[in-house]
Structure formats: structure tokens, C-alpha cells
Structure 1
Amino acid sequence: MLGRKLLVAAILALGIVAAPVAAHAADTAAYDRLLARYVVASADGINRVRYAVWSSNANDVDALNAYVASLERDRPSRMTRDEQLAHWINLYNAVTLQIILENYPVRSIRDIRSETLDPRGLIGPWRTPRVTIEGRRLTLDQIENSILRPEFNEPRIHYAINCASLGCPNLAARAWRAGSMDADLTAAARAYINHPRGVSIDAQGRIRVSTIYRWFAADFGGNAGGVLTHLRRYASPELQARLARATTISNYNYDWALNGSN
């Protein structure tokens, strides 16, 4: 027994046994500073990103790249559910920003093509491998559709991840955090649903909603009725009253123009 203890002590002294890897490696404060500097809340309720200024600042481009690299060192398998959510949402959004900055100027994220074709016909950068998490090489498409949607079963995720487009829910001006996850998801849902790009109703009572609710209908109840129920849950009292008797959705719309700002 004594010999074994001495052997273990010798191994530890030589540094042969690796220290356990921490679950969290990402520098959230650094990401907060970047978002505060470059995400601008516009008068029309849409958060826009100062891509032109950011892309010309090499230090801040490097800082974003360093943040993504730190997320790659994270170990989400060792995190709580809300910590995992924060990790994957921040990763998705930060990589999206990376992609735009690497290709700027572009009019739309769809001007940037993937390395492989999307069998659904979706044009954009979502199927290019970008990051490695716990040994798994991932695309944005996989983060959204193989991890976030099936593993968390949380429709409000769609209000948190951002695809650099005017039609998308706002890119938050700070990193997502586990401690306020539920409240922040609810706030993001309300902000989008009560904005015209989420839901609008014309003088004839016809309802137009974001195409997000068609692309991901399965996450919102599977049909128009389920979508409308979801919308009423987060609508303002005025919008709730207008949606009260609605049974159909007349039209879907989405603006793919870049969410850029001067």
C-alpha cells in the first residue's frame, strides 16, 4: 500500500496525470464588450451590427476569433441545462458574426455559400464546418438542428439565435447567461412577436407572420393553430385581442437583407 502511494505521489510530481478540464473556458466578458461596442439598437426596434467598423478593427476581429476559440474549449457535457443553452446560443451567434466579418461587405448572409449543398435547397453558409466541440466538428446547421432544437425542445431558442438578417429576431447586445436564461428567452419572444417582422395584421384582419413559423412549424405546435397559440402567449394585450379569434395565417414573410449599420 505504501509503495502504491509513493508511486502515485511520484506520478503527480512529474505532472503525468493531467488536471481535469474545466467545463467553462469562454471569456464572456470579452464578448460582452464586443457586442456593446458594435450592436446598435435602432429606432425601428431592430438591433443592427456595425460590421463595417468592426471588420476594419483587426484587434476586435481577433478578439471575436479568440472568443470563439475559447468556446471550443468549453465542455458543455459537464454543464447544467441552462449553461449548455447559453454556450450553444453564444457559439451560434459568435460564429455567425465571424462569417459576416470574414466576407464583408455582403448584402445578405445568403451571398455566402456553404462547402456542401443543403438538401432542403437553403442557400447560405450554414453547412460549412466551423468549430470543434468536445471532438465533434460542427456546422451552424448542426448546432441548430442537431443540438439546440432536438436536445432542448424549447421553441424560444428561435428568438435567441441570430442569422445576421433584418427578418431575424434581434442579436442581443450582451452574451446569453444561464442565470437569466428563462427570463431572457421570454423577453426575446415578446420583443419579436410584438414587432411587425414577427406578426402584423392588416386592416382586413389578415395575419402575416415571420417565415420562421413555417420553417420550424413543428416547434410551434405543428400547424397554424399551434403557431397562433404560441403567438398569443407572448403577445401584448392589444395584439392578443386582435389574435383572439384568428384561426388562419394568410401570409409569411422574411427579410434576408443584412442587419448592418453604419
Structure 2
Amino acid sequence: MRKPLPFGISVFVALMLLASQAFAAPKSDLWPMWNQSNEANAASFDHQKWQQILDKYVVVKGQHNLFNYSAVTPSDKALLDQYIVDLTSLDPRNYSKDEQFAYWVNLYNALTVQLILDEYPVKSITKLGGFLSFGPWDDDVTRIAGKKLTLNDIEHRILRPIWNDERIHYAVNCASLGCPNLAQTAFTGENTEELLNEAAKQFTNSDKGAKIDGNTLTLSSIYEWYGVDFGNNEQAVLKAIDVFRDGQKLEGWSGKIKYDYDWDLNQP
């Protein structure tokens, strides 16, 4: 009969198994209460505070939009916190769908920055969250219309199932170098289409989106985790990338394909 492993080794093995399963992408699963709108309401959300933060702390360096977390002043952290309070005090269902999309994307990105700042310095967002968790995505981070929400709720139970637009993956930012860039401009009901196309173009033409090295094509793990949103097979995914890619087209690629993602913090 095999002896049980010592406690310390058992814990180590459990941690290694957890690490090997580090990121399991959630499925798109509609939260029905959020799939409502008032298209007759011409009012818009005020994202000026978020724009002030972006203007001051987003640093463009090569293919990356970095966020200068270490430079954020107490007054600007308070400005960010107040922006989130302002947004979450409103019920987005009372607004048009265009306004709602901008609301959710900006809120997701602002909450992510807030999470990092609350724990800074930190090397990776994956270090946040509860014991044995891989990041904070399943933690309750806000409350809207009396409901607690997580980042995963916003992305996978609201944005993805309601709008069914693969460009959402280029818009929400997870504070990591491998992630599509945090937009320099706050989303609004008017500029969403332009910003989504710009984000898609930036990512698909960057090395972190798709990089060719000889006979090997390295794609962002986003296309593996959320392949269902980009197409029903690998070639369909490549075709979806080509829509925004200016360089060598990928559809029909017959060489090796691998996936990669850099979880290091997106800071200068």
C-alpha cells in the first residue's frame, strides 16, 4: 500500500496542479436581468474622470500601452474611485445599448486599474485574489442595481452574450503585457465602433497578437481561450484575425501554431 505524501509535499503538488490549470476561460453565459435597455433615453454617461486618468497615466511604448501605476497620486486615485462610484450608482438598463456597451467596458477597465492600485506594488494581476485563486476575476468587485458583480460577470455574463462581438476581447484590459492595449480614449456611445476597430487593428498587427517566426506562428492565448468567439475552428480564427491584419495574412497557414500570453504587469 502506497504511503501518503507528507503534508508539505501534498500542498506543493496541489499548487502545481492548480498552476497547470492556471487559466480556464469562462463560457459566455447571459445574465438575463442586464439584457434590457431604454433606447428612448438620449442621455449619456459621463466618462470624463476616466479620460483624465487615461490622459495622465497611459504611456505608449512600442506595441504596448502601459499604465504608470507607480506615479498615480492620492488625488488621482480618489478621482478613479469616485468615477467608479459615479458609474455604479446608476442603473445602465435605463440607457441605450450603445451607452451601456461603453459603460461596461470602461467600468471593467477602471475596476482593473483600481484593483492593481489597491495592492500595488504587484508583479502580476494573477497574484491578486483569494488563496489558491488565479487572479481576482471571480471576486466581487462592485455592486450595481443591488447586485454584486465580478469582472467575469461583466465580461462573460454581460458583454459577450449581449453584444456577441469578438472585438470585446480587444477592448477589455487585464493589466498584463499580453493583453490587448488599454485604450487611450474612454469608450462612449458615439466612438465605440471606431475604438473597437482601432483596438482590433493594434492587436492583430502586434507580436503579442500574432507573430511569425519561420515555420511557427505564435498566437495570443486569447485565440485559444475564446476561439469560439472568433470562429469554429483554427482556420476560421485565422480568418477573423486577417480582417484587421495589415501584414502577412494567416488564413491557410500550414505550419506550426502555438499560443502564448505574458501575464507580467503592464507598467513602464
TM-score w.r.t. structure 2 length? 0.81
The one-letter code matched in structure 2 to 1:173 is Q
Query: Aligned equivalents of 1:48 and 1:188: distance in 2?
Result: 14
The one-letter code matched in structure 2 to 1:46 is H
Offset at 1:147?
Answer: 0.6
Specify the alignment match of 1:4 in structure 2.
none
Superposed CA RMSD: 1.8
The one-letter code matched in structure 1 to 2:75 is N
Query: Aligned equivalents of 2:248 and 2:192: distance in 1?
Result: 25
Q: Please, which moves more after superposition, 208-217 or 130-139?
A: 130-139
2:257 corresponds, among 247, 250, 253, to 250
8 A Cα contact 1:92 1:161, kept in partner? yes
Offset at 1:25?
Answer: 8.0
Query: Aligned equivalents of 2:191 and 2:49: distance in 1?
Result: 19
The one-letter code matched in structure 2 to 1:36 is D
1:224 corresponds, among 234, 239, 245, to 234
Structure 1 pair 136/151, CA: closer, same or farther in 2 (3 Å)? Answer: same
1:33-70 deviations in whole A, cap 9, x for unaligned? 1110001111x22000110111xx11111100000001
Query: Aligned equivalents of 1:102 and 1:139: distance in 2?
Result: 16
Equivalent runs, 1:20-99 vs 2, <5 Å: 26-42=45-61, 44-54=62-72, 57-99=73-115
Equivalent runs, 1:86-235 vs 2, <5 Å: 86-114=102-130, 123-204=134-215, 206-235=216-245
Offset at 1:250?
Answer: 1.1
Specify the alignment match of 2:31 in structure 1.
none
Specify the alignment match of 2:25 in structure 1.
none
Structure 1 pair 219/170, CA: closer, same or farther in 2 (3 Å)? Answer: same
Offset at 1:247?
Answer: 5.0
Specify the alignment match of 1:7 in structure 2.
none
The one-letter code matched in structure 2 to 1:158 is H
8 A Cα contact 1:126 1:139, kept in partner? yes
Which has the larger helix fraction?
Answer: 1
Query: Aligned equivalents of 1:134 and 1:37: distance in 2?
Result: 31
8 A Cα contact 1:129 1:137, kept in partner? yes
TM-score w.r.t. structure 1 length? 0.82
Gaps of 5+ in 2: 1-40
- Greater C-alpha radius of gyration: 1
Offset at 1:203?
Answer: 1.8
8 A Cα contact 2:65 2:182, kept in partner? yes
The aligned length equals 228
Specify the alignment match of 1:239 in structure 2.
248
